[in-house]
Homo-oligomer: A and B are copies of this chain.
């Protein structure tokens, strides 16, 4: 009896040791070690206490026979240690997020997507966001939340690219002149696309998948040069990951690279499949579409609720995180009690239950030779849980009830977790939920289909990914590179097709939905149908501010102070032309540089040709985020206010223009395809003022356009 008792607790310690759902293997960072040892200390404490046999004998017997009776004090203590440690990590993550960089919360993929569409929202890619994203994500995964690390890694990649692209950070005294190559929007955008692609490549060890992800999901404008650049980046990522794994093969780096390049190898390829198999796969696709669109719907609702809470301040954010953490701990610790112990499969007695190492079978409250199915999923790293679900080694490893409970719990937790102030990826929760219902369907249809349950789990994951994220080629490729099973490619393609089609009939992809919910002015690739009813002139809004070719300093300064416009039309008037005509467009940032240089004249004269030699090209280059000149930086006295400045040298004399009667839909296509920020609207009939207005991104937003046509 004593020995039994001892065994029992050693298993429990093991449970806690590995618990917390995936924290320990996370991101191959050194902080693993600290979180691991901290937790081990707490567990040892519980373990030492439990050596004294003060447990109720009835409870211990009960634990092995009837789980409901195990009302033991130690179990509460163990739960407290488990939930407490989870909560500490959760609070760390939430505090980082709430106090330092609120932009780091969530997946980060919608933000990167919006940035690459041209939306430069506040501190989306700032160094502080980078810092919080890395460490917040480590804490978040360590806290046992149902969150992934893949989205945050994409955001991290984009942040690093931005950091390098703007030549370091002045604020943090990290500045490299030689990195200042990327001084225009397009190069910087390309670099950030490469960063995002590299994030996927590193997260899934999937270089080609990363290229396709950048192409399909992240980038708004695609050029063949960009394909080549992301490919180059990801080739480097692949080589580096490959050599690190090689370097760490001897065990120098802990658990890093244990899985090798193929993270979830599936060797369950059935060489042939017939009609019932295809029907089963189609069923999975339909299920994935339904579950996926429901998931997106619920995530949207939850996000809207959370945003009300989160707006009330950092304290509320942390409170929300604590609540969700407690809920997660309760599920992870409580649900395994619902299942009975399962006897280890024949031939695997040596490995089952897995003690003192990361592996397949968790004993939880069970006797030696038995394992707890739900604990093997909940109290395991996310990567191991996925491996368990994809495994075809033991067909009956998980019963239907286990898979159902696990699916329901993960589906629910995934929905309530996204949106709290913690960096949280969506890939892992979606793969876990998808794999569990895939395996469920596979077990259910085992009699009529000869496909493996592991393959069913993989197809389930594919269908749910397709149903939520609505990607196709990149998901195919990522799954292929994750599992190294080329023969199942036709099935994965089929399941993705069906799930995406089904889900698309209900709502948009989860990332698109989040972009919209966050209020980013995202330009869609296609024009909306109602735009065909309008012309460009209809949506030009606000008073138009124009400058003369040679303009008074005070007028410019007034315009810069009064408006937030980033571009102003320049009109040439007599005596510089016969009649007023559009000279071009001048940017706010260039005006500021010009005013700062104070090259003013007392009368309306054109400047000398050597004027431009005063400037370097670098002076007009796009500054890093938050580093440009502001109006407040200018120091212009009253005399100078009355002087004139020639705007011709800094005017873009070839702005893209549309005639005022141009269909708004066509103007939107022009704006979007060329990636413009300003589009000049010129009059159709002569003898009028040479410009009607300027269209910007906001003028094409549905809110603005639909506000103009109240009857629609």
Binding site for B on A (CB under 8 A): 207-208, 211-212, 215-216, 222-224, 227-228, 231-232, 234-235, 238-239, 242, 246, 249, 261-262, 272, 472-473, 476-477, 480-481, 484, 486-487, 489-490, 493-494, 496-497, 500, 525, 535, 577-579, 581-582, 653-654, 656-659, 661-663, 666, 669-670, 673-674, 682, 684-687, 690
Chain B residues, CB < 8 A from A249: 272
Query: Does B686 contact A477, Cβ atoms closer than 8 Å?
Result: no
Q: In the bound complex, do residue A657 and residue B654 qualify as a contact, i.e. CB atoms below 8 Å apart?
A: no
Most buried by B among A525, A653, A669: A653
A685 adjacent to B578 (CB under 8 Å): yes
Residue contact B486 to A481, C-beta cutoff 8 Å? yes
Contact yes or no, B685 A493, CB < 8 A: no
Q: Are the C-beta atoms of B654 and A493 separated by less than 8 Å? A: no
What CA separation (Å) do A232 and B234 show in the bound complex? Answer: 26
Chain B residues positioned under 8 Å from A486 (CB to CB): 261-262, 480-481, 484, 486
List 23 interface pairs A-B (beta carbons < 8 Å), by A numbering.
A207-B493, A212-B473, A215-B227, A222-B222, A227-B473, A232-B497, A235-B494, A238-B493, A239-B490, A239-B493, A242-B490, A484-B487, A577-B685, A578-B685, A579-B685, A581-B684, A654-B662, A654-B663, A656-B658, A656-B666, A657-B658, A657-B659, A670-B674
Residues from chain B with Cβ under 8 Å of A686 in the complex? 579, 581, 686-687, 690
Contacts of A238 in B (CB 8 A): 489-490, 493
* Bound Cα distance from A231 to B494, whole angstroms: 10
Copies per complex of this chain: 2
Query: Once the chains are docked, how many angstroms separate the CA of A535 from the CA of B679?
Result: 19
Residues of B near A682 (CB, < 8 A) are 659
Among A208, A227, A496, residue most surrounded by chain B Cβ atoms (within 10 Å) = A208
Interfacial chain B residues near A579, Cβ < 8 Å:
685-687
Pick from B261, B473, B673: contact of A487, CB under 8 Å: B261
Those 5 A-B pairs whose CB atoms lie nearest each other, nearest first = A235-B493, A686-B686, A238-B490, A654-B663, A231-B472
Residue among A239, A481, A579 with the highest chain B CB neighbour number at 10 A: A239
The residue of chain B having its C-beta at the shortest distance from the C-beta of A242 within the complex is: B490
- Judging by beta carbons under 8 Å apart, are B216 and A227 in contact? yes
Contact A525 B224 (CB under 8 A): yes
Distance in angstroms between the alpha carbons of A212 and B215 in the assembled complex: 11
**Are B235's CB and A497's CB within 8 A?**
yes
Q: Which residues of B contact A212 (CB under 8 A)?
A: 212, 473
Q: A654, B666: Cβ atoms under 8 Å?
A: yes
CB distance from A213 to the nearest CB of B (A): 12
